[in-house]
Structure 1
Amino acid sequence: MAKYKAPFRLVKPTKKGGIYYYRLGDDPKRTRHSTGCRTEKDAQAYCQKITAVDENGVKEVLFGDFSANMFIVGKCPYLANKVSDGKPVTAKLTADYRAYIENYILPYFKEMLLSSITPAEVRRWRNSIMDGSFKPKSLRASPPAHETMNKVRRVFEIVMNEAEDEGLIKSNPVSKVSPLSKQVYKKRDALTKEEVDLLFPDNDEDLLRIWGDYEKASMLYLVLTSGMRSGELRALKWSDIDWKNKGVRVTKAITAEQKLGPTKGKKARGTVPPSRTFELLKKWLELAGKSEPDAFVFAGSDGFSPSSSGRLRCALRNAMQHAGINTDGRKNIVVHSLRHTYNTLLYTVLPSDALRGTIGHESEAMTQRYAHLTPDEAIKQYGKKYRKAIEKTW
């Protein structure tokens, strides 16, 4: 008769108050695993949970263990199946999906058995994120957009589909939870030319009264007069400033994960702000004292990392209050509104294809005429053709 082997064996900590470890009974290598528990009772309960079997004798699996390799290239069967089916698997897709698991799903479900995850539990998880009682990792604003939450739900559904295919659960609980409805966003308004003049007066004394310093003034004026997105501005380095030709190379953007990545359109471009933008940038450079090519133009508090998006929002909000703009709150003015303002004021100044080229929007005509230009070539061409009109606009 075969000798009975216990499903696990606890290993007591060597120090009082230490972590209990365990060895699985069927592991010939006798590998030690951490329970994460500091009492024998909790450690026993943890081990019983992970070694349990259902009524059919199938071993129960924790969500964290099952999803450990999901969307990791070379380890994930789901990705391997997609590749074998001839479907595209991009690095961005795998990185985004893995980030959704680690940031949104694992913190809540990691220690839950797959079989214990019910539609009701999925709804509680989603509701707790949307009402702010549970905040996922790396989430800067709460709650996330419905579109983002629906993407996370879809990733969760894929993971549980795999568990169902492997016979670990009878049905997918996530499939029984409908996606969130599409949000209707409040339209972002643009500033009028009169409001622009109030926000950025010609007199430096008035300008500093409104903005507080040249960094904030040059930062938001650059957004306004270049059509750059917030993430593109925050990724800007001194090497991207073309002082000679008065242009800016837009080549990178700061992602939601606070990393340096490509622009939204995945293409570098050049833009030609007016002379005053470069005058303000020079004044900021004199104060900053950092002009190394690889240094961020607008760095964070540590002087090395990129500035935060919240800093831009706060600077614009305070400046509008000091300038007496939108005090009744009727207009929805945010940092991205400056990009809309750029588009509005230059709409009748630049040809539509050139305007699309400077702000990073594409059309068939723009692609044919301007897409082949490098940022440096675009700066020279736009500057030569439209410099006078741009200077007059601002």
Structure 2
Amino acid sequence: MEVSTMEGSVINRGGNTWELRVSCGYCNGRQKRKTKRIVATSKRAAKQALDKFYYEIIQRDEENNVDMTFGDFAQIWNEKHNANLALTTRITHLQILNDRILDVFKGVPLAKITTQDILDFMDGLQRIRIKDRKRHSDKMVPLSATTIHKHYKLLNHILSKAVEWHMLRKNPCDDIPSRLKPKPDYHQHPIWEEDDLQRFLTILEYLPDTAINVKHKAMFYLALSSGARREEFSALTWEDVDWKNNAISINKAYKYINSKNAEISETKTRESNRVVYVDDYVMELLRKHREMQIEYLLEHRLGNEHGYVFLASKLRNGKVCPVTPNCLYIWLKGMCKKHNLPHITVHSLRHMAATYALNNGATLTTVKAMLGHTDIRTTAIYLHSLDKQRRETASILSKCFKSMRINKHGMNHMVMDNGISS
């Protein structure tokens, strides 16, 4: 019989003999544990012995790691954990770690980092001033709440791994009151109202059918019709296109930092692997784009070994490669500026796909599946209200209240019947 606790488990081996087991984390995907055989007259006594055994191991681990600095552990964390994450995630982690976290904690013994040290670090981040990159200005502005939250989240994550791997007894972040923990300030991506969207679609109809125009139109309509992420449609191959059923299989993503740091990898989550459906108009754009792509490749004697749907305009190492996830944004930004339309991003198209689908009768669960979300609460973040729908809602309420009103004559009768004077 095995009895488990937070610290480990005790197993009755018979004859008042008990085996104590304590988990010591994982190595190469396999659990490490330490065991000890004892003699105890009861289960309660065995559990008391387990507690003592557990704290002996913790104390021994702390003594062994007493000289380990945060910088030393950060290197272990990077090699053991971070190196196995997606390209963009691991590079982002290293940028945050190297930019500011190591500046403060690199030489500090891991076991001596306190809750107050974490709070002081967060306070210091709030006083940092950087150039306003959003407005391309030299004006100095504070770090955003979201950026500060990312620093805290990564620091908390690294210290949690130290606890999990028995290199630290307790994560000092655990004692920070909830009200003092940094919180992100996420903003909704701007979307177009119906008038602006209709105007832009009309502009696209009048664009000449050049190869570059057809390619960008196909990317735009694919994103708008399916809610696909830019990393997802950048990685599409022609074998992902089901011509018969108007379906697109999304099963990979293009993680791109720069020409030296790029890879085709798995999608964001398991639910992101999905099939999305588009209409005949989008399929016709893809057919036209494919014909032009084949013609271009033949003319320039180039191959498309992996069969990417959307190719970059420049070769890399003499070979064709997929468009970067930023390609559509550059084109979209230029079109907005040229035609005096409100600025939107490629991710705005994903928000618009969800918003327009729901406002025209789609169910929330269907939109969740289309976007590839794990949690329906995430899908709800993507929903925007449109002016037209807000006006229609006001009209619905107006009719409702109007039908409930009683004319003055009828109201007077009701008031008098109830013995209430007006």
Normalised TM-score (structure 1)? 0.53
- Label 1:102 to 1:191 Cα distance change in 2 as closer, same or farther (>3 A): closer
Matched with 2:220 is 220
Is the contact between residue 210 and residue 319 of structure 1 (CA under 8 Å) also seen in structure 2? no
Structure 1 contact 157–174 (Cα < 8 Å) conserved: no
Paired amino acid for 2:130 = D
Aligned partners of 2:106, 2:309: CA distance in 1, in Å? 46
| More strand, by proportion | 2
Is 1:68 matched with 2:60? no
SS of residue matched to 1:182: coil
- 1:113 matches 2:107: yes
Structure (1/2) with the larger helix percentage? 2
Q: How many residues align?
A: 274
**Structure-2 change in CA distance of 1:274 and 1:147 (3 Å):** farther
CA gap of 1:182–1:211, structure 2 versus 1, over 3 A, is farther
Q: Describe the SS at the equivalent of 2:353.
A: helix
- Larger deviation, residues 122-131 vs 236-245: 122-131
- Sort the Cα spacing of 1:213 and 1:203 in 2 relative to 1 into closer, same or farther, 3 A: closer
Alignment of 1:281 with 2:297, yes or no, is: no
Paired with 2:158 and 2:106, the residues of 1 have a C-alpha distance of 14
| Pairing 1:266–2:270 present | yes
> Helix, strand or coil: the match of 1:217?
helix
Output aligned runs, 1:212-251, within 5 Å.
Answer: 213-251=213-251
Q: Which residue of 2 aligns with 1:317?
A: 333
Q: Which structure has the bigger radius of gyration?
A: 2
Name the TM-score, length of structure 2 as normaliser.
0.50
C-alpha RMSD over aligned residues: 4.8
User: Does the aligned pair in 1 maintain the 2:216–2:331 contact within 8 Å?
Assistant: yes
Aligned counterpart, 1:359: 371
* Aligned with residue 341 of structure 1, among 352, 357, 373: 352
Determine helix, strand or coil for the equivalent of 2:249. Answer: strand
Would the alpha carbon gap of residues 361 and 150 (structure 1) be closer, same or farther in structure 2, given more than 3 Å must change? same
Aligned to 1:8: none
| TM-fit CA distance, 1:344 | 3.0
The change in CA–CA distance for 1:98 and 1:286 in structure 2 (over 3 A counts) is closer
Within 5 Å, give how 1:131-210 maps onto structure 2: 131=130, 145-158=147-160, 179-185=181-187, 187-201=188-202, 204=205, 206-208=206-208
SS of structure 1 residue aligned to 2:248: strand
CA gap 1:228/1:311 in 2 versus in 1, 3 angstroms: same
Q: Report deviation, 1:340.
A: 2.4
Taking the aligned partners of 1:132 and 1:124, their CA distance within structure 2 comes to: 19
* Residues 237 and 306, structure 2, Cα contact 8 Å, conserved in 1: yes
Distance 1:183 1:100 in 2: 19
> Structure 1 residue 223: deviation in Å?
0.5
Identity of aligned residues (%): 19
* Partner secondary structure for residue 249 of structure 1: strand
Note the alpha carbon deviations across 1:204-223, whole angstroms, 9 max, x for none: 5x224999622222211211
Gaps of 5+ in 1: 1-57, 80-90, 134-141, 365-394
Q: CA deviation at 1:362?
A: 6.0
Aligned partner of residue 284 in structure 2, secondary structure: helix
2:256/2:325 contact within 8 Å kept: no
Change (3 A) 1:323 1:281: farther
1:60/1:113 contact within 8 Å kept? no
> Do the aligned partners of residues 211 and 293 (structure 1) sit closer, same or farther apart at CA in structure 2, a change above 3 Å counting?
closer
Please identify, of 304-313 and 110-119, the stretch whose mean Cα deviation from structure 2 is larger: 110-119
In 1, are the aligned partners of 2:308 and 2:322 still within 8 Å (CA)? Answer: yes
- SS for the counterpart of 1:190 is coil
Change (3 A) 1:306 1:240: same
What per-residue deviation string (whole Å, max 9, x for no partner) do you get for residues 81-117 of structure 1? xxxxxxxxxx659x99966663332466389523598
Is the contact made by 1:122 and 1:173 (CA closer than 8 Å) also made in structure 2? Answer: no
